[in-house]
Structure 1
């Protein structure tokens, strides 16, 4: 059982949905990220997704691309990201942390070394968007062996033939992308999402969490109501990027988590 598994077990027992928040590590600097990360559990966040800044974030929209650029320009590294997780673990050994990003920084560090350092820092899961199931031996399988959940994305274009492959070695939860396209584009539609979530849940016992296109407490509630929870990323990153005070960012996150938890 990982922290992610424990979290979903607790939420099921409480008959509550999960709220997941994404921010970019190092945006605009390590100190701010650390302050926000430490404040997220108190703002109602059940699982923290921490972005790994990368020079070529092909699946991300302008908001997260710019956040990654700011982080890299500020000197954020993979090691720095792990240090942020380690700082959180000094105060919080319960809230799961998932690293989300691309394979290149991990490959450059070396998979074995990365997994050893990630588990020591307190990382619970990985979402690596450019590693398809056909390449599970690269990182997915070693991560599972190390006790790190490997979380896969499913999309509106993941058809019945492809879905079993996507689910094959997934653990922790399934991240359903509510819209086609890059992060930060469009708006999630609960009526369209509901049958897709049901389709995925018919093939797996894993929780299904829905992300992309959620910006308001109402949207957070509506999407969580038809899934096991929701993820908000770009809308939070946008507020950090425009320079909102940490307490204001966390107040916004609280409004979103209250929405999800009211579903």
Structure 2
């Protein structure tokens, strides 16, 4: 699913459903995969920028079913890979099979269930395979090699490596923890590996790809532009993502 890839993230429904589709069509010009976040009321893994995007979308009346309509409309214009990022509560509340089936019918390629442990995911993984949806699980710098193997076995899309502890958000530099984890993951995992959390510059992308990452994930740096420019963020997003893409070489 990843091969020297740029994965770009936006929150669905912020500032509106229509602009989410517009932003996706901007992102797809320079991205290899688009990660579409489903707003959640308690986004504990996210930093302040994406937390605020979640709250704005929910305040605007976003419903989980809206994300399927956005992807369906996107599929009328693009075949670019789309991954949903969600906490497990919305999946569970809708019904696991129903959520995965609707994702597949809309044209979703993969799902990241942020807070679902890989070793508690048998039913979920089985249903994703049934509907041909790729699974993506997350590893952090304190993940052991043994647990990396469990995460890798549960993943069918790629393994998502977080560059540091804590929450999402821009950082000035990619720390050594990210490169240490990347080195271990490349030795341990059979799946491609993508690195996210804190990536915001072309130099970050370049250094991670050079170190062996199969993909680099950028979110807060994009959502910061949505927060600042709202409905008029299209050109700013395009400029930022084009620059980030240069880091792929």
Q: Please give the range of the TM-score, normalised by the shorter of the 2 chains.
A: over 0.9
Contact 2:6 2:217 in 1 (8 A): yes
Contact 1:187 1:212 in 2 (8 A): no
Name the structure 2 match of 1:142.
127
Give unmatched runs, 5+ long, in structure 2. none
1:35 pairs with 2:22: yes
TM-score scaled by length of structure 2 = 0.93
Cα drift, residue 78 of structure 1: 1.3
Cα drift, residue 247 of structure 1: 1.6
Q: Give the one of 55, 61, 64 matched to 1:69.
A: 55
SS of equivalent to 2:122:
coil
Q: Give the one of 13, 21, 43 matched to 1:26.
A: 13
Bigger mean CA deviation after superposition, 45-54 or 225-234: 225-234
Residues 73-128 of structure 1 deviation map (CA, whole Å, 9 limit, x = unaligned): 111111111111111100112x1100002011111111121111110100010111
Contact 1:22 1:231 in 2 (8 A): yes
| Separation in structure 2 between the aligned mates of residue 245 and residue 129 of structure 1, nearest angstrom | 27
| Separation in structure 2 between the aligned mates of residue 124 and residue 31 of structure 1, nearest angstrom | 21
| Separation in structure 2 between the aligned mates of residue 48 and residue 146 of structure 1, nearest angstrom | 20
Q: Give the one of 215, 222, 232 matched to 1:229.
A: 215
Deviation beyond 3 Å, 4+ runs, structure 1: 185-188
| Separation in structure 2 between the aligned mates of residue 158 and residue 191 of structure 1, nearest angstrom | 15
Contact 1:52 1:78 in 2 (8 A): yes
TM-score scaled by length of structure 1 = 0.89
Cα drift, residue 191 of structure 1: 4.7
Name the structure 1 match of 2:242.
254
* Number of residue pairs the alignment of both structures matches: 246
Residues 21-80 of structure 1 deviation map (CA, whole Å, 9 limit, x = unaligned): 0000001111111100012111x1000000010011111111111000001111111111
Bigger mean CA deviation after superposition, 215-224 or 115-124: 215-224
| Separation in structure 1 between the aligned mates of residue 154 and residue 8 of structure 2, nearest angstrom | 24
SS of equivalent to 1:126:
strand
How large is the RMSD of aligned CA atoms in angstroms?
1.5
Q: Give the one of 187, 196, 209 matched to 1:211.
A: 196
Q: Give the one of 220, 225, 242 matched to 2:228.
A: 242
